[in-house]
Chain A
């Protein structure tokens, strides 16, 4: 059993195929190019409007223009604002004003559920409420979720969350209802600068690689893709990003690992240990009998 789970996780085919879909559509996802994000938050609003996600309170956080704080049960798209002072950049003048502004950078990035290839939330869900769709995305079925909350600590990104006064787990569905009828997700539709792009994951990979090359050639050497690598700890993300700095700067884990990765091995060890204990007990008794 444990061995079988492991091989399933390593299945080279698409997650949808691995989940038993045959004749499924291509894997769909998001490519969020943060280098063209203007921080308008249209994605946050469009997501809430379409998915009827509740407003979650007025709190002035002081974290630049980010008063949302992070992804949660009531926030499925979140735009981070990072004000940076970068020494030694653009110092073309002795004038203080120029130094003040020239080295300033304001990063904006719209975060979302990663729709992991190896999704721990899905692995740990005891009710089957969490589901891999035919598009390879991960959704919560709200009529099945019983609010056990196992999925919440399982997510390596801290995305999925329990709603207060409801108890159930909620997160981005990649607008399953929209993409099922051939319409792009609300956030991608609303994004004015195409920072959020929706499409076939393979095509998005191609575009992202191209964009990264373009930025590198333009001297933006810190630009990098995040969640693009299929060999990473979650097998690559269905929603991946182009970042302009270290992932930690954006509040993203640098090296996410599917929290259920070690489960088979752990179970194997548990089994071995159990066998050991059993044999020890058995031999103890045998020994005793010999006494």
Chain B
């Protein structure tokens, strides 16, 4: 965190100064380790084993917060008799369809029956259509369909009354299933998988347990490298389970804080640049399934919780986009929305480019030729495009690969053969435009332009507004039905200044929403399904309350309460901690005076406290819903997780995840070790692509695996920003980390005759790079299962362009994805290292091919579903 988020890390240092214990778990000894109380190095890619070990400790030693777990989680809920755990099936869950490479989730549900996910996968599956029909026929509750990132603001739905055993003794209750599932994650196993010594591991367990409960809370902070694994979502799930067991969610000082990779990545999830979401986590309609608004809403809304009002959110969004054209008669222009027909994630888009179905590409503020896994495939795919638009500060590698990229040097591509038309547009920096950043706390903070952008540089807002204006002008005379969505789009933003910059505040006002008279709304509870309100993103309603830019508020903390509600604005409803009902006990009293946050006031008959209650303020702790209640009314006074259909936090996820209701430790795709816990080596439903440029390494038991004996891990340095577009061209930053290097331990340097400050060549089945050598004891080897394994550190900032240059670490990584969110596995894979510079030209391709031959790699290597040890 100190490495990648030094500004945010000031609060960790502040907490430390006030007595907090800082534990840093990372394969590398970083700037964070340097100031942490405890650094715990572990083998890259083994975090589920580590966290699972803590879960086992917490349950085994009865250190969990029992009252919290019983009242607020699904720990007591009984699950289906059909469910079989990894314990029963040697590492996989019931429902695995090896042929289709996916799970059928039916057996994971609650004993009482169907559950609807809200957080999880929403991709189109073949049977989804059938389920829709079935559901409509039965007019019954919700489908078992797994969903996507949708409902990131909350959870999922189950019909009200799941069977529970409040004593949590029933062998079919979630808690007992969880206990059995993690019982094999002992300290001894953790030591043998992660390389974390038992004593050190137990120190972590004790410290964390001691600092959790009624009087104390602990927080988990992670940088998004934690997600970049073939089990990435399950990493975070494991942390969530642990935090729930310890009672660290919905309470001050608790939580799991995702430190996103760029400014406002949270904002770009809320108002998404993701293929499967509309603003506010409304799912993108599926082609052929979500045929009209009624079908769409019926398929996605929940009976219980705030997703029950989904139709109002959707209609208001359609009104914001199509204005007066959107009427009840035409389904509010629902048909104007594009549809998805499968996964269109960034990596699937690359595959679609390679096979010629994707012909155009906007690359905005990102540099896939350096920053995405398997950088070569990114470039080869772009070489198949008809056109490519790149918007950035400088001529990044993604804009110039066609004339000076690595494939031009190797002869794999020739400029004259590349038909892609490349358009480069210089971009404005954040200091040159107005707008908001949404941080990990869901807080919007406004930034004001300090200066107009130079020359032809323009903001993204300017670019898209004027692009849209020009397209609308071109289509104005068209009578084609397909042009109607663009013709009817509301596109009336005032512009400012000599460059006709659209007003960012006008956009914020539209996001906030307004009523039929154009008056700004103040709460999403005001949204209506009759078309009388318009709102660009329902969870952001209130950010422009009273016509005031609430995100621009900067009242100093000294002049307000410690929660600082008047600094910026946090969605939803300016709540700083969501699910904060959990900060009070079931009777509505704070769990302790020390951690008091929100509580029920009997005299006023309402919830009061330091923050905006994330609960109906008048709903007493003793409220129980009447039979037949729906939506928010169906939540009881002890259901803090108001976006979840059962109002409870899920230790066990009966639906919503592609790869299991509980996390299980699987080895990374490329790993030098067999899975010690199960006969199943890798995540059975990980996404793999068989392509000659994306070859995978042999399993540890196979002969060829010793060709790639070292663990590689990629990461960022404080001095540079991601793929370098914002830093490698800046002299003041470039000089601080002037070129690509690799970090190796002295023992490895000796083993492979690597000289400090010399050159090393690093090879995988995907590619070869060179890097300067930095020998350091900070890259500690790990001893597990009787073997001492070295880990090689690779910063991924560099590419061949710019002032500070070097080979891209992502040339080495394979495209292997988590099945839930399609994130690439780049934090743990394997490779070889040798002294000296890499070969030039065609010889570098030959070297990679030689490695593939030596390792006996074929198109099917590493692609198995079952087994693989």
Contact = CB atoms under 8 A, between A and B. Distances in A.
Interface of A: 36, 38-42, 44-45, 48-49, 55-60, 62, 64-65, 67-68, 83, 85, 92-93, 95-98, 100-102, 104-108, 192-194
A131 B697 CA distance: 66
B200 interface: yes
What 6 A-B pairs are tightest by C-beta distance, nearest first? Answer: A58-B738, A55-B731, A40-B6, A95-B197, A106-B34, A93-B197
B199 A193 contact: no
Nearest to A211: B17
Given A45-B732, A193-B6, 6 more contacts: A93-B200, A97-B195, A97-B196, A104-B778, A106-B33, A193-B10
Given A45-B736, A58-B803, A38 B199 contact: no
A40 B776 CA distance: 19
Given A97-B197, A104-B29, A60 B2 contact: no
26 contacts: A36-B35, A38-B35, A39-B2, A39-B34, A40-B2, A40-B6, A42-B6, A44-B732, A58-B734, A58-B739, A60-B739, A60-B772, A62-B756, A62-B772, A64-B774, A65-B31, A97-B195, A98-B197, A98-B199, A101-B33, A106-B29, A106-B31, A107-B34, A108-B31, A192-B6, A193-B10
A101 B756 CA distance: 20
B735 A68 contact: yes
A38 B39 contact: no
Interface of B: 2, 6-7, 9-10, 13, 17, 29, 31-35, 39, 41, 191, 195-200, 203, 717-719, 731-739, 741, 756-757, 772, 774, 776-778, 780-783, 788, 803-804
A259 B59 CA distance: 67
B453 to A, nearest CB: 18
A38 B6 contact: yes
B777 A97 contact: no
Contact of A67 (B9, B34, B738, B778): B738
A105 B9 CA distance: 19
User: In this complex, which of A42, A65, A96 has the most chain B Cβ atoms within 10 angstroms of its Cβ?
Assistant: A65
B141 to A, nearest CB: 50
A41 B782 contact: no
A39 B782 contact: no
Contacts of A193: 6, 9-10, 13
A95 B776 contact: no
B23 to A, nearest CB: 13
Contacts of A194: 10, 13
Nearest to B772: A60
A108 B3 CA distance: 13
B6 A101 contact: no
A40 B718 contact: yes
B736 A104 contact: no
Given A44-B736, A101-B39, A106 B778 contact: yes
B774 to A, nearest CB: 6
Nearest to B43: A97
Contacts of B191: 95
A62 B774 contact: yes
A243 to B, nearest CB: 15
Contacts of A106: 29, 31, 33-34, 778
Given A36-B35, A85-B777, A68 B9 contact: no
Contact of B735 (A42, A58, A85, A101): A58
A43 to B, nearest CB: 11
Given A83-B777, A106-B29, A93 B199 contact: yes
Contacts of B6: 38, 40, 42, 192-193
B9 A100 contact: no
A45 B32 CA distance: 20
A48 B732 CA distance: 7
A250 to B, nearest CB: 14
Contacts of A108: 31, 34
Contacts of A56: 735
A222 to B, nearest CB: 15
B736 A41 contact: yes
A250 B804 CA distance: 27
Residue among A59, A104, A108 with most chain B CB within 10 A: A104
Contacts of A65: 31, 717, 737
Nearest to A36: B13
Nearest to B2: A38
A45 B736 CA distance: 9
Contact of A59 (B13, B197, B738): B738
Contacts of B196: 97
A39 B13 CA distance: 13
A51 B738 CA distance: 22
A104 B777 contact: yes
Contacts of B781: 96-97, 100
A68 B31 contact: no
B732 A60 contact: no
Nearest to B747: A100
Nearest to B755: A62
A83 B782 contact: no
A41 B727 CA distance: 14
Contact of A39 (B29, B197, B203, B718): B718
A75 B32 CA distance: 25
A216 B198 CA distance: 30
A83 B29 CA distance: 10
A59 B738 CA distance: 6
A97 B199 contact: no
A54 to B, nearest CB: 8
Given A36-B35, A106-B31, A83 B780 contact: no
Nearest to B738: A58
Contact of B200 (A45, A57, A92, A107): A92
Contacts of A36: 13, 17, 35
B363 to A, nearest CB: 27
A57 B735 contact: yes
A63 to B, nearest CB: 10
Contacts of A59: 735, 738
A98 B200 contact: yes
A254 to B, nearest CB: 24
Contacts of A97: 41, 195-197, 780-783
Contacts of B776: 64, 83
A62 B757 contact: yes
A105 B732 contact: no
A102 B780 CA distance: 10
B14 to A, nearest CB: 8
B753 to A, nearest CB: 17
Q: Residue among A38, A41, A45 with the most chain B CB within 10 A?
A: A38
Contact of B783 (A44, A45, A95, A107): A95
A276 B737 CA distance: 60
Nearest to A49: B732
Contacts of A41: 718-719, 736
A58 B804 contact: yes
Nearest to B42: A97
Contacts of A57: 735
B733 A60 contact: no
A197 to B, nearest CB: 13
Contacts of B195: 95, 97
Contact of A60 (B13, B31, B757): B757
B626 to A, nearest CB: 53
Contacts of B731: 55
Contact of A68 (B34, B718, B736, B739): B736
A55 B804 CA distance: 13
Nearest to A38: B2
A209 B55 CA distance: 43
Given A64-B776, A106-B34, A38 B9 contact: yes
Nearest to A108: B34
Nearest to B41: A101
A101 B10 contact: no
A68 B738 CA distance: 10
Contacts of B200: 92-93, 98, 102
A92 B198 CA distance: 10
B734 A192 contact: no
